[in-house]
Chains A and B, each alone.
Chain A
Amino acid sequence: MEKTITFLNENIALLGLVVVLILGVLINPLFSTPENLSNLLRTTSITGFVAIGMTFVILCGSIDLSVSSVFSLSGFLFIYFSQQSDMLAILMPLVVGVTIGVVNGVLITRFAIPAFIGTLATMLFVRGLVLVLTNENTYKVKILSSVLYYFGRGDIVQYVSFPLVMFTIALLIASYILRRRTVGRAMYIVGGNAEAAKMMGVNVSTTLIIAHVISSFMASVGGIVLASRVGAAYPLSGTGYELIAIAAVVIGGARLSGGVGRISGTCIGVLIMGAFSNIFNLQGFLDPVWEFVVVGTVLLVVVVMQAVVTNVGLQSISNQKAIF
């Protein structure tokens, strides 16, 4: 019984993904065509970048609401600087992303502003900045160089898109950092118990700042890829991505209170979210406007199941303690 609970607890997201994929094939055979799957993965990797960054922040027990605006800003910077040089177009958004991450981190650690409020403030500020910079209009350029174009639309081989490859590499690096590097391990400790981490000699502030920098950085990468794919910067792009990313991370099994979560879980969470909206576009029974209802219900069911499993697990642990 306990083994089943542990297994369920750790692999509930994977189970969900399998169900979603089977559902997709049953609903529309077109779902499993290579074209559709390749498209699905390309779209998913864009939100995937944001979700990877969000995983780091959530592991630390913090939260980053500003990713949606950073996403949008870096898209604009990418398009704007694409007229100067390719190098600048890629570097500038990343530099700005890192800077915003540092600002977020400092607000939260040095000024002791709760993460929710600090990053909410950054979110509004950066969104305002994007609206000012774009003149509240879609910002277009005549032509993007082939290198920049490749970021969003390129295929390494047929059906394997460049964003997907970048996403996979990002997943591997993130997983390596969280499993093997001191910084990554420190994030689990900070999220699990910040007081204990401090006493163990972990530098809590630095860890938090690094997590926020990674989050903003990944959001800018996502912004670059989308801007390159669309070829224009839309001032409201990325709106709501912070919530999608949080949902994906939570579906992947992470706790918002921090300390629990894996990159593989996030990957599965992102795939579930992406596959769902893809399936919704392929089916004919329900009007697309119901998509939100279904996504919300799925999220709710997953969260409730996690809570029930955790509560049962906690009870069995406390029972054991009572016995011994």
Chain B
Amino acid sequence: MNAALISPRIFLSKYVAAIALCILVLFNVFFTSHFASWVTFTNLFTQATKVALVGLGMTFIIASGGIDISVGSAMGLGSVIAAIAILNGNLLVVFVSIVIILGFSVLSGYLDSKLMILPLVSTLALMYIMRGLARGISGRGTVTYNNPELTKFFITPIGGVIPMHFFVLLVVAVVMYIVVNKMKFGFDLEAYGNNRIAATISGINTSKTIMICYIICGIMCWIGGVLVMGMVGSADPARVGLDVEVDAIAATVVGGTPITGGHPNIIGTICGVFLLQVITMMVNMNNVAYAYSLMIRQASLFLLSFPIICLRNRGKQ
């Protein structure tokens, strides 16, 4: 907006994740052998896209001051139903899966906005329900379908070089960015996240705003789940989307969206997801045990969320 208003402090607090990501990538380019290669780039996208999509959905919900810990289970349920549909050869039924996921999103939106139940509890219940449904429906095991054309569609890079995940993420991110920064919904959401009572008094339809957040998040989970399913040609009800909620929340917070609600930082979330993913890759490529990556990720979560909060608090004073 107004260039004079952008002080270094605001700039920093918005782009801490982006700066950290740049530093980390530069570090790896110099110190990790074979890091700067096309394979690494495509791997990064194929691995990070599901978390990035869910993280973007989570950004909306966190910006509204809520939280959704059922996202991983929603991915699992969506992918299992979709896989069963493909197994039975009826591709139309695939859309049943998205309808079911949307039904759960509407339910959690209703519980949050109308019944005023803290979303941590209501989505905890939904997390159990959806994970259980996924395992129940699948009949205790991985649903594997045999559809070479479909699998080929998912794993073949577009134009022979760039994986389709890249384009999916690009399209979603651009749309989200426009929704947040250019559309009325984005302003409503930010207003609601900053001050619920003020937003309600000034005539914003708050329950509609929250409902849309949950629906967007549901769609993102579904896409993420189907991408995971498409890559391997099967859906494991117990594994698909497991612990994704932790990564998504961490990425959103590192990305600079305040956990108490406020401006949804789309670019920040994407940088946050890639930051966490690059840390994992760095640890893997340097032959260090996976467990250390958990610890390094924690340290980065703390080190990055601390300056963000400090900068923001100083601004308020």
Binding site for B on A (CB under 8 A): 63, 107, 111-114, 116-118, 120-122, 124-125, 127-132, 136, 243, 246-247, 250, 255-257, 287, 289-297, 299-300, 303-304, 307-308, 311
Would you call B128 and A296 a contact (CB within 8 A)?
yes
CA distance A295 to B133 in the complex (A): 12
Would you call B124 and A131 a contact (CB within 8 A)?
no
Would you call A117 and B305 a contact (CB within 8 A)?
yes
Give chain B residues whose Cβ lies under 8 Å from the Cβ of A257.
118
Between-chain CB contacts (< 8 Å), 23 pairs: A107-B302, A112-B313, A116-B67, A116-B120, A117-B305, A120-B250, A122-B298, A124-B246, A124-B297, A125-B299, A129-B291, A130-B291, A136-B291, A255-B118, A256-B120, A289-B132, A292-B128, A292-B129, A293-B128, A295-B128, A303-B111, A304-B117, A308-B115
Asked if B87 lies at the interface with its beta carbon under 8 angstroms from chain A, I say no
Would you call B121 and A256 a contact (CB within 8 A)?
yes
Q: Interface range on chain B: under 10, 10 to 19, 20 to 34, or 35 or more?
A: 35 or more
CA distance A188 to B298 in the complex (A): 31
**6 nearest interchain CB pairs?**
A292-B132, A296-B128, A128-B294, A131-B291, A293-B132, A296-B129
Chain A proximity of B283: nearest CB distance (Å): 10
Chain B proximity of A116: nearest CB distance (Å): 6
CA distance A173 to B115 in the complex (A): 35
Partner of A136, one of B117, B120, B290, B309: B290
Asked if B103 lies at the interface with its beta carbon under 8 angstroms from chain A, I say no
Would you call B122 and A300 a contact (CB within 8 A)?
yes
Chain B proximity of A56: nearest CB distance (Å): 17
CA distance A293 to B77 in the complex (A): 12
Would you call A112 and B118 a contact (CB within 8 A)?
no
CA distance A293 to B76 in the complex (A): 14
**Mask of B283-317 contacts with A, CB within 8 angstroms, 1/0:** 00000011111110111011001100100010000
Give chain A residues whose Cβ lies under 8 Å from the Cβ of B289.
131-132, 136
Additional A-B contacts beyond A121-B305, A131-B290, A247-B124 (9; CB < 8 A): A113-B306, A116-B259, A122-B298, A124-B250, A125-B294, A132-B291, A243-B69, A291-B132, A296-B130
Chain B proximity of A52: nearest CB distance (Å): 19
For chain A, what secondary structure do more than half of its interface residues adopt (helix, strand, loop), or is it mixed?
A: helix
Would you call B67 and A124 a contact (CB within 8 A)?
no
Would you call A114 and B260 a contact (CB within 8 A)?
yes
Give chain A residues whose Cβ lies under 8 Å from the Cβ of B260.
114
Give chain A residues whose Cβ lies under 8 Å from the Cβ of B253.
117
Binding site for A on B (CB under 8 A): 67, 69, 111, 115-118, 120-122, 124-133, 135-136, 140, 246, 249-250, 253, 259-260, 289-295, 297-299, 301-302, 305-306, 309, 313
CA distance A131 to B290 in the complex (A): 9
Chain B proximity of A111: nearest CB distance (Å): 6
Would you call A243 and B305 a contact (CB within 8 A)?
no
Residue of B nearest to A247 (CB): B124
Chain B proximity of A139: nearest CB distance (Å): 14
Partner of A120, one of B126, B129, B301: B301
Given A63-B120, A120-B249, A121-B301, decide whether A300 and B129 contact each other with a Cβ distance below 8 A: yes
Given A128-B291, A289-B140, A300-B129, decide whether A121 and B124 contact each other with a Cβ distance below 8 A: no
Give chain A residues whose Cβ lies under 8 Å from the Cβ of B293.
128
Residue of B nearest to A289 (CB): B135
Give chain B residues whose Cβ lies under 8 Å from the Cβ of A243.
69, 124, 127
CA distance A247 to B313 in the complex (A): 32
Would you call B129 and A256 a contact (CB within 8 A)?
no
CA distance A300 to B119 in the complex (A): 11
Give chain B residues whose Cβ lies under 8 Å from the Cβ of A128.
291-295, 298
CA distance A290 to B125 in the complex (A): 14
Give chain B residues whose Cβ lies under 8 Å from the Cβ of A113.
302, 305-306, 309
CA distance A116 to B246 in the complex (A): 11
Would you call A307 and B294 a contact (CB within 8 A)?
no
Partner of A296, one of B111, B125, B297, B301: B125
Give chain A residues whose Cβ lies under 8 Å from the Cβ of B313.
112
Would you call B128 and A304 a contact (CB within 8 A)?
no
Would you call B294 and A256 a contact (CB within 8 A)?
no
Give chain B residues whose Cβ lies under 8 Å from the Cβ of A250.
121
Give chain B residues whose Cβ lies under 8 Å from the Cβ of A130.
291
Give chain B residues whose Cβ lies under 8 Å from the Cβ of A304.
111, 115, 117
Interface-central residue, B117, B121, B132, by most chain A CB under 10 Å: B121
Residue of A nearest to B133 (CB): A293
Residue of B nearest to A243 (CB): B124
Would you call B309 and A292 a contact (CB within 8 A)?
no
Give chain B residues whose Cβ lies under 8 Å from the Cβ of A311.
115-116
Would you call A300 and B126 a contact (CB within 8 A)?
yes
CA distance A60 to B66 in the complex (A): 19
Give chain A residues whose Cβ lies under 8 Å from the Cβ of B120.
63, 116, 246, 256
Give chain B residues whose Cβ lies under 8 Å from the Cβ of A291.
132
Chain A proximity of B166: nearest CB distance (Å): 28
Interface-central residue, B122, B124, B259, B309, by most chain A CB under 10 Å: B124
CA distance A127 to B298 in the complex (A): 10
CA distance A247 to B305 in the complex (A): 28
CA distance A293 to B301 in the complex (A): 32
CA distance A109 to B305 in the complex (A): 14
Chain B proximity of A138: nearest CB distance (Å): 15
Chain B proximity of A122: nearest CB distance (Å): 7
Chain B proximity of A241: nearest CB distance (Å): 13
Give chain B residues whose Cβ lies under 8 Å from the Cβ of A63.
120
Chain A proximity of B235: nearest CB distance (Å): 15
Would you call B298 and A124 a contact (CB within 8 A)?
yes
Chain A proximity of B309: nearest CB distance (Å): 6
Give chain B residues whose Cβ lies under 8 Å from the Cβ of A121.
298, 301-302, 305
Give chain A residues whose Cβ lies under 8 Å from the Cβ of B140.
287, 289
